[in-house]
Structures are given as structure tokens and as C-alpha cells.
Amino acid sequence: MSGRLRMRLMLWTTFINVVVGVALGGLLCTIWPEHYFRWYPSIPLFYWFTAMAMTYFLDRAKRKNGDVTVTTFMVVRFCKFTLAVVFLWLYAVMIGENLKMFGITLMVFYFIYLAMETYSIYLFEKKRMKREKKEKDEQDQE
């Protein structure tokens, strides 16, 4: 992954995180104030940090192996899911305030990031397959 592509992915992730975080936080504060909880900002921050870590690990895997496979992506997704479960458990044990809304909000962010990251890997794989086909066609012409 080039530095430019990595930067675009990080900026895109940050933009989506801010938009969704502010929109959902605004809805919780204005329309459903009884469901707002003080630790709400920790959820977008958690997903932002894990998205940055995922970008870093996938970039390292690509540099080391020459490409990112779907298996590598799924391993990273599993780690992210496990971290989300640990984050929910820590919140339940240490804070426990408005646990149901915290869990629902965590799940909403999880699915938003799941869709965004799946679409990103789809575009990456589509581009890779197109590049490989072009290279194969060039080899066949020689």
C-alpha cells in the first residue's frame, strides 16, 4: 500500500468516524437524551484506534508478503471483534452505566466499520485482480 493510499484510507476512516460519531452523539443528546451516556465518546475513539491499527497491520502484511489476502483481512477482523467484546466487558465491569445503550451503540459502530472495511477490501481485491489479469495478458503477448 503506497503512502498516498494509506493516507487516503486513514483520512477517509477519520472522516467517517467524525461524521457518524457526531451525528449519533447529536441524536442521542437531542432526541434520546435518556439514552445518552457519558462514555459515548470512547466508542468512536475505540473504533478509530482499531481502524488505524488495522490499516497498519494490513500494510505491514502487504509489504512482507507482497499482497494482502482475504485470510489476513479476516484474521484482523476477528481480532477487532475480540477487542470489541473485551471493550464491552471492561465497560460492564468497571463502569456499568447504561450498559444496554452502550452495547447497542458499540454494535452499531461495529457494523458501520464492518461495511466500510469490507467495501475497502473489495475495492483493493478488485484492483489487484485487474492488475494481475493485465500482467498475465502482457506475458501472454510476449
The CA distance from 36 to 24, in Å, is 10
- C-alpha cell read off for 14: 477519520
Sorting pLDDT into bands at 50, 70 and 90, what band is 84? very high
- Count how many Cα atoms sit within 13 Å of the Cα of residue 111 in the half-sphere of its side chain: 5
List, in sequence order, the alpha helices (H) in the chain. 3-30, 42-65, 70-94, 99-141
**Ramachandran category for residue 66: left, alpha or beta (phi over 0 → left; psi -120 to 50 → alpha):** left
What are the phi and psi torsion angles at 109 (to 5°)? -65, -40
- The pLDDT tens digits for 51-65 are 888 878 777 777 777
Domain boundaries, the chain: 3-129
What was the pLDDT predicted at 2? 60
State the pTM of this model. 0.76
